[in-house]
């Protein structure tokens, strides 16, 4: 089992401390999750441990370098990882109530046959009381619902001393409630934790002196200072200093942006390099970070689902059933025949078949690499007709890579890459890592022969090698600040710009020596997945990005997307999605960042990937548990198959129960036989609902996933 570092923020608990998240390559058992969490909590200097068994991740704070190393050694040494079978069994907390709901089934199958008649009668009566009380309560509130019909059928069976039917009815109804619990998945319970900045104190400037102040005491117009490696705890305006701010949590873009005097910064972003003094404009619930949460909560409250529809349809049949029973009694004065109408009702199958189909789909989805958070989202997956992608981290990989090395002035490609890697290896930002990784892939050795590197925040760096002055940085730095003529590369610059790539320049002794083109690589499966989704009924595919027009156009063309919106702010994404839904589109939104959360929530159904941010994973209605887009195809096929089966079960319920009801009314079937046939039909429909939906998918791009 392998683990990797997902994220790390340095300087959280002091100058030497930090916060780290580590994730396993696959989900963990509850016992193994508890084991690692307990071992971390026992380590000196480790605090705030939080484990998630489904994602196989652990987040914790460390006090210094020594405690950080001890934590890493725990996950790095396979000798520390025990065999899960050797650990004591741990029951996941959220499953305990559901498992307890199956005890009546166990008692009915294995205990009831051995009970004497008197105990069977007592047991049936005791089990019936909660359902009768539920029906009486609904009636007292003026609701003629399925609960009232259930209570009436159970009461009629008790009056006829048909305790076998009572036991069967209470068993089926109890099983339905248990399965309904299984289909309810929390999506916002840990929202507060996901949005937590994990910052207890900040440096506030008071009378020219920096004072450590609890975050809760920071007020509007206070001046705070944030340095490299530290999260920004409040929205504000930069009043002094220059820094590179990583806004991936808000915009999704992996490359940091320059912020200097007059610039705006937001809570939840991180200073990668430099130092800035910020005048606070919004704190606490007023920050954009927290406003995202409020938007999500409001959107979640407006969503409906297939299970609610099936329950409403069952409720609509209740007055009809009571009316028919009353008519039968009025014309025949036969209480048994009237009771047979109540016993052969539509509610059992209607209420059970849909939750069972949902449960089967959720279980099968998990097996095929996705977590579907409820029946309403299965329906939404099937109904969606507009597919919207965030670009960075969704259609493209979040980490930039070197796409091309372009030499100039007699230099070779390897020379340009070697020199730039030699200088860039001193800095941790994503572009620097991309350059160093490319040199490592080509096995280029770059010895430390240069003088001390001088870094100019948000511009570039300079140094000297073999007596020659070297500059590495943006066009603004090399051409604008240093006056280097880059016209020899003008044609190639335009060519790379049309491809949507960012450029990093190298100058030597006042002459341009080359440049490197950086890009966010398109996910290799993206074009095939988009074609497949069109074939599955999506009429419109849209890409949203904060990139410029040329970059957006290039990525859209390579992915096969014919509609895109470029240079949009995070808030614009949810606005665009909302406009689509207002025009009648049913939007499936795929995103991965905190900035995508409002759009995910505003959409008909939101999908996130396992390598997205915590908040995106929480807010999304469907989570793909493997880091590729192929799961979208499987999810759509699974949803379509499930909805077809639900409709088939609904039709079968109406037709068969109507036949049994007619048989009882016209004395073709005795009441007891009708009740038995009704229960057998309910069981048969329930078994059909739980059959697997998917067959092995033969499309090569889906890597063995299923299809309907």
**pLDDT tens string 248-272:** 555 545 566 778 888 888 877 788 7
Q: What is the largest CA-CA distance in the chain?
A: 112
Give the pLDDT band of residue 489 (cuts 50, 70, 90).
Answer: very high
Position 613 scores a pLDDT of 63
Mean pLDDT, residues 542-551: 83
Mean pLDDT, residues 39-58: 79
- Average pLDDT taken over every residue of the chain: 75
In this structure, the strands spanning 587-591 and 605-609 are parallel
Give the pLDDT band of residue 467 (cuts 50, 70, 90).
Answer: confident
- Is the pLDDT at 316 greater than 70? The verdict is no
- Is the pLDDT at 14 greater than 50? The verdict is no
Give the pLDDT band of residue 528 (cuts 50, 70, 90).
Answer: very high
Residue 679 token pair: 């229960």
Give the pLDDT band of residue 529 (cuts 50, 70, 90).
Answer: very high
Enclosing H/E stretch for 120: helix 117-140
Asked if 391 contacts 253 with a C-beta cutoff of 8 angstroms, the reply is no
Q: How far apart are CA 404 and CA 397, in angstroms?
A: 17
Give the pLDDT band of residue 225 (cuts 50, 70, 90).
Answer: very high
Residue that wins the pLDDT comparison between 210 and 106: 210
Position 665 scores a pLDDT of 65
Position 585 scores a pLDDT of 93
Residue 653 token pair: 């319920």
Asked if 345 contacts 594 with a C-beta cutoff of 8 angstroms, the reply is no
Q: Which of 40-44, 430-434, 616-620, 671-675 has the highest mean pLDDT?
A: 40-44
Mean pLDDT, residues 496-502: 81
Q: How far apart are CA 79 and CA 403, in angstroms?
A: 40
Q: Which range among 40-49, 326-335, 339-348 shows the weakest confidence by mean pLDDT?
A: 339-348
Asked if 692 contacts 364 with a C-beta cutoff of 8 angstroms, the reply is yes
Position 505 scores a pLDDT of 92
Give the pLDDT band of residue 6 (cuts 50, 70, 90).
Answer: low
Position 36 scores a pLDDT of 86
Asked if 413 contacts 522 with a C-beta cutoff of 8 angstroms, the reply is no
| Angle (CA) 378 380 382, round 5° | 75
Position 576 scores a pLDDT of 92
**Strand intervals (E) in 497-551:** 502-508, 511-519, 540-544
Asked if 382 contacts 237 with a C-beta cutoff of 8 angstroms, the reply is no
Position 122 scores a pLDDT of 83
User: Measured between alpha carbons, how far is residue 457 from residues 245, 272, 473, 580, 635 in Å?
Assistant: 11, 10, 10, 41, 45
Mean pLDDT, residues 452-468: 69
Residue that wins the pLDDT comparison between 582 and 27: 582
Q: 668 — phi, psi (to 5°)?
A: -75, -35
Asked if 580 contacts 558 with a C-beta cutoff of 8 angstroms, the reply is no
Cα torsion at 206, 212, 215, 221 (round to 10°)?
10
Q: Which of 218-232, 435-449, 628-642, 665-679 has the highest mean pLDDT?
A: 628-642
Q: How far apart are CA 469 and CA 598, in angstroms?
A: 48
Mean pLDDT, residues 574-586: 90
Q: How far apart are CA 574 and CA 568, in angstroms?
A: 11
Asked if 323 contacts 331 with a C-beta cutoff of 8 angstroms, the reply is no
Q: How far apart are CA 589 and CA 608, in angstroms?
A: 8
Say how far residue 509 (Cα) sits from the centre of its chain. Answer: 50
Q: Which of 349-353, 543-547, 618-622 has the highest mean pLDDT?
A: 543-547
Mean pLDDT, residues 476-486: 87
Question: How far is the first Cα of the chain from the last one, in angstroms, to the nearest whole number?
Answer: 33
Mean pLDDT, residues 192-219: 72
Position 254 scores a pLDDT of 53
Position 199 scores a pLDDT of 59
Position 701 scores a pLDDT of 36
Position 405 scores a pLDDT of 94
- Is the pLDDT at 303 greater than 90? The verdict is no
Question: In this prediction, what percent of the chain has a pLDDT beyond 90?
Answer: 14
Q: How far apart are CA 33 and CA 27, in angstroms?
A: 9
Residue whose structure tokens are 């949009």: 568
Q: Which of 603, 492, 593, 490 is nearest to 545 (CA)?
A: 593
- Is the pLDDT at 536 greater than 90? The verdict is yes
Position 16 scores a pLDDT of 65
Give the pLDDT band of residue 209 (cuts 50, 70, 90).
Answer: confident
Position 706 scores a pLDDT of 35
| Angle (CA) 472 476 506, round 5° | 20
Position 469 scores a pLDDT of 86
Asked if 399 contacts 434 with a C-beta cutoff of 8 angstroms, the reply is yes
Q: Which of 379, 377, 306, 311 is nearest to 350 (CA)?
A: 311
Q: Hey, how many other C-beta atoms are within 10 angstroms of the C-beta on 285?
A: 10
Q: Which of 664, 648, 647 is nearest to 321 (CA)?
A: 664
- Is the pLDDT at 458 greater than 60? The verdict is no
Q: Which range among 87-96, 328-337, 457-466 shows the weakest confidence by mean pLDDT?
A: 87-96
In this structure, the strands spanning 563-565 and 386-390 are unpaired
Question: In this prediction, what percent of the chain has a pLDDT beyond 70?
Answer: 69
Position 619 scores a pLDDT of 72
């Amino acid at each position: 089992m392998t683990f990797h570092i997902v994220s790390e923020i340095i300087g959280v608990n002091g100058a030497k401390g930090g916060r780290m998240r580590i994730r396993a390559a696959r989900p963990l058992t509850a016992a193994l999750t508890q084991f690692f969490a307990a071992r971390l909590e026992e380590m000196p200097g480790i605090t705030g441990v939080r484990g998630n068994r489904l994602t196989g991740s652990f987040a914790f704070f460390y006090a210094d370098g020594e405690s950080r190393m001890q934590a890493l050694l725990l996950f790095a040494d396979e000798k520390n990882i025990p065999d899960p079978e050797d650990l004591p069994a741990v029951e996941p907390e959220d499953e305990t109530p559901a498992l307890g709901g199956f005890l009546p089934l166990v008692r009915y199958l294995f205990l009831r046959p051995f009970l004497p008649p008197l105990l069977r009668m007592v047991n049936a009566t005791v089990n019936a009381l909660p359902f009768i009380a539920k029906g009486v309560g609904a009636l007292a509130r003026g609701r003629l619902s399925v609960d009232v019909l259930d209570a009436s059928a159970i009461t009629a069976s008790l009056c006829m001393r048909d305790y076998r039917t009572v036991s069967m009815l209470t068993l089926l109804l109890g099983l339905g409630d248990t399965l309904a619990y299984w289909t309810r998945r929390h999506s916002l319970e840990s929202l507060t934790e996901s949005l937590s900045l994990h910052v207890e104190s900040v440096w506030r400037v008071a009378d020219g002196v920096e004072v450590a102040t609890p975050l809760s005491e920071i007020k509007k117009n206070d001046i705070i200072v944030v340095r490299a490696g530290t999260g920004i705890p409040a929205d504000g305006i930069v009043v002094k200093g220059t820094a590179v701010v990583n806004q991936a949590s808000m915009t999704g873009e992996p490359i940091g942006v320059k912020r200097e005097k007059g610039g705006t910064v937001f809570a939840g972003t991180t200073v990668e390099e430099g130092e800035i003094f910020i005048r606070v404009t919004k704190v606490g619930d007023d920050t954009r970070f927290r406003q995202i949460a409020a938007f999500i909560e409001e959107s979640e409250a407006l969503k409906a689902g297939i299970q609610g529809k099936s329950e409403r349809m069952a409720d609509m049949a209740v007055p009809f059933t009571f009316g028919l029973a009353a008519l039968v009694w009025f014309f025949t004065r036969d209480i048994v025949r009237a009771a047979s109408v109540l016993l052969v009702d539509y509610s059992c199958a209607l209420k059970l078949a849909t939750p069972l189909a949902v449960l089967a789909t959720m279980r099968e989805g998990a097996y095929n690499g996705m977590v579907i958070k409820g029946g309403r989202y299965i329906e939404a997956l099937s109904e969606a007709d507009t597919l919207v992608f965030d670009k960075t981290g969704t259609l493209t990989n979040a980490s930039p890579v070197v796409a091309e090395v372009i030499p100039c002035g007699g230099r070779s490609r390897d020379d340009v890459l070697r020199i730039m890697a030699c200088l860039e290896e001193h800095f941790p930002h994503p572009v620097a890592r991309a350059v160093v990784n490319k040199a490592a892939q080509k096995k280029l050795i770059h010895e430390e022969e240069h003088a001390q590197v001088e870094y100019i925040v948000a511009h570039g760096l300079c140094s000297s090698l073999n007596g020659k002055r070297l500059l590495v940085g943006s066009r603004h730095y090399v051409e604008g600040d240093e006056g280097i003529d880059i016209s020899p590369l003008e044609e190639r610059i335009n060519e790379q710009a049309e491809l949507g790539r960012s450029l990093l320049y190298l100058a030597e002794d006042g002459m341009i020596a080359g440049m490197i083109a950086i890009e966010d690589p398109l996910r290799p499966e993206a074009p095939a997945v988009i074609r497949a989704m069109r074939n599955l009924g999506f009429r419109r595919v849209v890409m949203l990005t904060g990139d410029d027009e040329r970059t957006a156009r290039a990525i859209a063309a390579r992915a096969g997307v014919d509609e895109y919106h470029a240079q949009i702010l995070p808030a614009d994404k949810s606005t665009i999605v909302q406009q689509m839904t207002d025009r009648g589109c049913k939007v499936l939104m795929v995103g991965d960042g905190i900035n995508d959360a409002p759009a995910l929530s505003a959409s008909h159904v939101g999908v996130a990937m396992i390598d997205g941010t915590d908040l995106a994973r929480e807010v999304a209605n469907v989570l793909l548990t493997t880091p590729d887009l192929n799961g979208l195809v499987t999810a759509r096929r699974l949803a379509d198959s499930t909805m077809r089966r639900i409709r088939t079960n609904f039709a079968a319920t109406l037709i068969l129960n109507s036949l049994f009801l007619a048989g009882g009314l016209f004395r073709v079937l005795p009441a007891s036989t009708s009740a038995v046939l009704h229960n057998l039909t309910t069981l048969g429909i329930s078994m059909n609902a739980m059959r697997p939906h998917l067959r092995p998918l033969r499309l090569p791009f889906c890597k063995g996933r299923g299809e309907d």
